Amino acid sequence: MAIRGLLKKNPHGMSVTQIAEAIGMNRITVARYLDVMRASGQVEMEPYGQAKVFFLSRRIPVTAILDFFSDGVAALDKEGRIIDTNLKLREIAGCRDTDLSGAHIAVLLSSLDDEGRLGEVIRRAADGNEDFFESALSVHGEDRRFFRVRVVPTVFMDSSPGSILILQDITEWKRAEEQMVAQRDLAWTLSAAQTLFEAMPPCVDTALMLSGMDAGGAYVADPETGVFDLVHATGISQRFTRSFSHISPSSPIGERIRSGTPYYAENLKKEDGGIGAGTWALRSYAVVPVLGGGQVIACFLVGSHIRDRIDPGSRKALETVAASVGNTIQRIRAQEDLRESEEKYRILFNNLDDAIFLHLIEDGLPGRIIEVNDTTCARLGYTREELLTLTPLQINDPAYPGDLAEIMRRLLEEKHVFFEWAHLTKDGTRIPVEINAHLFTLRGEEVVISIVRDLRLRGGT
């Protein structure tokens, strides 16, 4: 416009008369143009005596300011047609360089308008009510992103009613919320898991859900060989499972796992080897080690058949799940080692030729029996359950001439006593025995372990 160019050449300002003379236009027309330019923020006016001096506005246009917003913004008429938009909204809609004036916002954001909610909040704005809703939208063909759609009623400078739509990207907040809930649920599940086969499936499922990947497996390192064994897999072909059921620590993938650093492969092509697209049709994959006690004890190997990239949010989700499972694997391993050790001792305990039983001390006398081996049951003719209701006094031969009080005194003082006695079987048979008794503390209680040898087996009477 000629007036704008003229004022640009005269930064100190010009009066209506000066402008009219310079561009050859009558004063009334110039004054009207200047009023419009003032209303739109293009020029400013300052009075000098009786004259009014006009100069270009030093204010940044509102539309320029809005282009710096991280939220998408659109000015709408009362019907929901677009009057103006900022750059961010056009980018979200995939129309960065397009003039969207006159288009209906509900059509532009149709994939975001679940169940007609956008049209409803625009109608509410026309009645003077502010409203919002949350929904998801696929942006530029990438993963779905979450938005909070807020519509605020307004009145434009020409007094016409309308609304301002604000599109706030809340994807990271939503992901953080999902991760928090998923981690809580996973923690509850893992706390009850007793084996790796119980613990790994929910870990893999949670990792896939939070990262948006569609296939994956969990590997656990063999403590002796260091080989990573596949414990659970989801979305993986049987052929892949056969080929990668074990990962050698010296293989390229094994070395990546043992480094302890997550590895991400993206934009895989058909000609790529290894786990790449050429063989397994994966377009991206991640190898995420699991640490425990400062060592790599497991890993997650997850991939996608449709995604070329693994975005930062997905990477964080995978690494978070991996960080949470290390302690569980160590706990389960320790429990398995304990169960294995207990089983070995149980086998040994029950296959000794000597009878063994444990009993409490009650008022200085032999108390309730709390454990017996199989030899004790077979020799005395009682079931294990029956013996656990008795005390040694009930299986002793009451006619035996020994001094039980003296034996108990020595046991309590010296913590060990060796003596001969006689037991009675359930059917009343008398068995001469040699007893080697030791006193120790178990879970805060004094307990006696008695190793009982049948003297008949060596010719005793």
Within a domain: residue 347?
no
Within a domain: residue 296?
yes
pLDDT under 70 in the chain at which residues?
Answer: 1, 40, 58-64, 111-115, 138-144, 157, 270-280, 459-461
Q: Collapsing DSSP states into helix, strand and coil, what is residue 197?
A: helix
Q: What is the pLDDT of residue 460?
A: 47
Q: What is the pLDDT of residue 63?
A: 64
Q: Are residues 269 and 397 in the same domain?
A: no
Give the pLDDT confidence of 346-403 residue by residue, as tens digits: 887 888 889 999 999 999 899 999 999 999 999 999 999 999 999 999 999 999 988 9
Q: Are residues 332 and 214 in the same domain?
A: yes
Query: Do the Cβ atoms of 407 and 392 come closer than 8 Å?
Result: no
Q: Are residues 131 and 266 in the same domain?
A: no
Q: What is the pLDDT of residue 280?
A: 60
| Euclidean distance between CA atoms 24 and 18, whole angstroms | 10
Within a domain: residue 310?
yes
Domain boundary among 169, 198, 222: 169
- CATH code of 42's domain: 1.10.10.10
- The position carrying tokens 């025995």 is 433
Domain boundary among 308, 341, 374: 341
Q: Which residue, 68, 168, 28, 158, is CA-closest to 112?
A: 168
Within a domain: residue 346?
no
The amino acid sitting at 224 is E
Q: What is the pLDDT of residue 259?
A: 92
Q: Collapsing DSSP states into helix, strand and coil, what is residue 263?
A: strand
Q: Are residues 269 and 322 in the same domain?
A: yes
Q: Are residues 30 and 119 in the same domain?
A: no
Backbone angles phi, psi at 61, to 5 degrees: -60, 145
Q: What is the pLDDT of residue 301?
A: 92
Within a domain: residue 233?
yes
The H-assigned helical ranges of 73-170 are 87-93, 105-108, 117-126
Within a domain: residue 426?
yes
Q: Are residues 365 and 417 in the same domain?
A: yes
Tokens for 94? 């995939």
Within a domain: residue 265?
yes
Q: Are residues 162 and 34 in the same domain?
A: no
Tokens for 323? 């960080």
Q: Please calculate the CA angle 353-356-359 and round it to the nearest 5 degrees.
A: 175
The H-assigned helical ranges of 370-448 are 374-380, 384-387, 404-414
Q: How many domains does the chain have?
A: 4
Domain boundary among 135, 169, 203: 169
| Euclidean distance between CA atoms 40 and 157, whole angstroms | 9
Query: Do the Cβ atoms of 387 and 376 come closer than 8 Å?
Result: yes
Query: Do the Cβ atoms of 280 and 271 come closer than 8 Å?
Result: no
- CATH code of 121's domain: 3.30.450.20
Q: Are residues 24 and 67 in the same domain?
A: no
Instruction: Name residues whose C-beta falls within 8 Å of residue 115's C-beta, 6 or more positions apart in sequence.
Output: none
Q: Are residues 52 and 165 in the same domain?
A: no
Model pTM greater than 0.75? Answer: no
- The position carrying tokens 């302690």 is 327
Q: Are residues 371 and 321 in the same domain?
A: no
Within a domain: residue 424?
yes
Q: Are residues 68 and 35 in the same domain?
A: no
Note down the domain range covering 337. 178-341
Q: Are residues 30 and 97 in the same domain?
A: no
